[in-house]
Chain A
């Protein structure tokens, strides 16, 4: 017999019963969309449409539309790519790593966080694909396909190719993991529905009936997928960091990159989860499921990963000095004091200093402060990638070719396009899919609700 612990806070508050969980989560799938949802959705779709203009212009004219030049050959595109991939990492961390560590609080946030992962990876993938210039031929450059060169294969020594495999595996495994979790909840909605909705959710639920044998297999599949996704999520940002670390550019050629990028990814991912969840719990009235306790725990993850990132920045600086390599030393001094000093210090303030505020309990349990800081962290993480990429490139070995990077309207527009895409997908998800994993919340309900544990 399970008992409610007197030491731990309940995971779900408000004395919910099993039926309450079903009702509270299915409610917004079944009801008419609210006016606020419509406004939010239309705004996102509008940004998507507006950004599409820049996307089409870039595809039509070529990537000369961007502000790249001979010296700074990678800028906003790769910055945005790494930023979006990083955001994606939190979903897998919550659903896989926290499952392995038996952190039961993850059950009410894992669904939305995994959805965020999938949408963020879709947004990330836009940039390398567009940057190919002629994406319709991209399959020949990115995949080992036989071609008319008879066959000159893709280069398996290149981290850019590893990235293709890493990101596509990450996307498809996350999608499968997410969908397997959705099947029982689609069945719940199917069994409450009639007519067309019953047909649609019936097909989406794959004929799920909740048999004990199927649940046993489901649990087994979840555990193995979590075991596979854990090294996978670490490998993805490791390989993204290899894009830089295996080059010989001062500022990029650093062995610290893999752990530093992974910590940064989790840091920015949790910040984005918080941004989204704080809004979602309010709009859908899910405060009893996504409690202040959840927000506090996520903020603790932000302190830890933010501090790791801070230590990484300092270590990089120290090693640049200690290496005795002048080019390396210059690259770092130039980051902090050169023409891009403002980007460097924005990064330092947003990523290293501001998350330390979460040491104060009042701040990490405050919704307003958390929401504001979650946005600050994501701004900081965007600047981190910008600093690494642009400041390392803009002053290369030949002072005569030193240059600055200035984004064009197309750079801004394509970035906006991905924001529109992300939020359009997220709002559609929030309306038509159960945003909380009902089955898994019910499974942990007994230890946390006084009504069902009588």
Chain B
């Protein structure tokens, strides 16, 4: 085998075949590096054994930050820094502060969560992704297997496992 081959790729046409293939390949002891799909395949994260994303927690914490910042700002400005009677209301007119508080909660939750998502998934305009197969953003699901992580297994055997799991093609790919 060529020395500089680092990845074996299984190419799948169908999402249901893919889901079963991931289970089979993992059951046979091959470690899958990642699966690349043109669209979100439901259940793929379960068969790959990924833990549930913690992004909702990030959204909640950022939302709480927005709520507290908004309330602090409004009470400070309206009650302490420059108290003024407006429309005969209390200086600290709590019900009037709710709309701005709500908006700032949503704003910070959304931007905070998206920011965390961008950072954790390494999404940035200058990012140079490793493209295993350009068809993975069109109509094919690509299962990438890093040979270095599967040194115990023979390359021919991995290829045979991929073929028998329903891959329409088995390719090799290496990056510098």
Contact = CB atoms under 8 A, between A and B. Distances in A.
Contacts of A191: 131, 134-138
Contact of A210 (B38, B78, B86): B38
A157 B87 contact: yes
Given A157-B86, A213-B34, A228 B123 contact: no
B83 to A, nearest CB: 11
B114 A176 contact: yes
Contacts of B134: 191-192
A350 B78 CA distance: 45
B86 A155 contact: yes
Interface in B2-31: 14-16
A451 to B, nearest CB: 12
Instruction: Decide if the interface of chain A is mainly helix, strand, loop or mixed.
Output: helix
Nearest to A213: B50
A446 B110 contact: no
B157 interface: no
Given A153-B82, A188-B137, A210-B136, A165 B100 contact: yes
Given A1-B16, A224-B55, A217 B122 contact: no
Contact of B81 (A153, A446, A452): A153
Contacts of A151: 77, 81-82
A218 B40 contact: yes
Contacts of B96: 156-157
B138 A18 contact: yes
B48 interface: yes
Interface string A190-225: 111000000000011011111111111111110011
B106 interface: yes
Nearest to A190: B137
Interface in A224-273: 224-225, 228-229, 231-232, 235, 239, 242
Contacts of A19: 138-139
A19 to B, nearest CB: 4
A162 B77 contact: no
A443 to B, nearest CB: 4
Contacts of B86: 155, 157
Contacts of B15: 446
B155 to A, nearest CB: 23
Interface string B109-122: 11101100110111
B114 A215 contact: no
Interface in B83-141: 86-87, 89, 93, 96-97, 99-100, 102-104, 106-107, 109-111, 113-114, 117-118, 120-131, 134-139
Interface stretch (A110-118, A179-187, A279-287, A423-431): A179-187
Nearest to A188: B137
Question: Which of B14, B59, B103, B123 has the most CB atoms of chain A within a 10 A radius of its CB?
Answer: B103
B139 A207 contact: no
Contact of B99 (A165, A188, A203, A217): A165
A156 B92 CA distance: 10
A29 B86 CA distance: 54
Given A165-B99, A173-B110, A188-B137, A152 B129 contact: no
A376 B117 CA distance: 43
Contacts of B106: 169, 173, 228, 231-232
Contacts of A207: 122-129
A172 interface: yes
B59 A172 contact: no
A408 B103 CA distance: 36
Given A165-B100, A173-B106, A209-B130, A217 B121 contact: yes
Contacts of A446: 15
A216 B125 contact: no
A212 B132 CA distance: 14
Contacts of B127: 206-207
A212 B56 CA distance: 18
A130 interface: no
B41 A187 contact: no
Question: Which of B35, B86, B87, B96 has the most CB atoms of chain A within a 10 A radius of its CB?
Answer: B96
A104 to B, nearest CB: 12
Nearest to B135: A191
A184 B114 CA distance: 15
Interface of B: 14-16, 34-41, 44-45, 48, 50, 53, 55-56, 59, 73-74, 77-78, 81-82, 86-87, 89, 93, 96-97, 99-100, 102-104, 106-107, 109-111, 113-114, 117-118, 120-131, 134-139
Interface of A: 1-2, 17-19, 22, 144, 151-153, 155-157, 159, 161-162, 165-166, 169, 172-173, 176-177, 180, 183-184, 187-188, 190-192, 203-204, 206-221, 224-225, 228-229, 231-232, 235, 239, 242, 438-440, 442-443, 446, 452
Given A220-B55, A438-B39, 9 more contacts: A1-B16, A153-B81, A155-B86, A162-B103, A165-B103, A212-B35, A232-B106, A442-B38, A446-B15
17 contacts: A1-B16, A2-B16, A144-B77, A162-B103, A191-B138, A192-B134, A206-B123, A206-B127, A208-B137, A211-B34, A217-B53, A220-B53, A221-B117, A439-B38, A439-B40, A442-B38, A443-B41
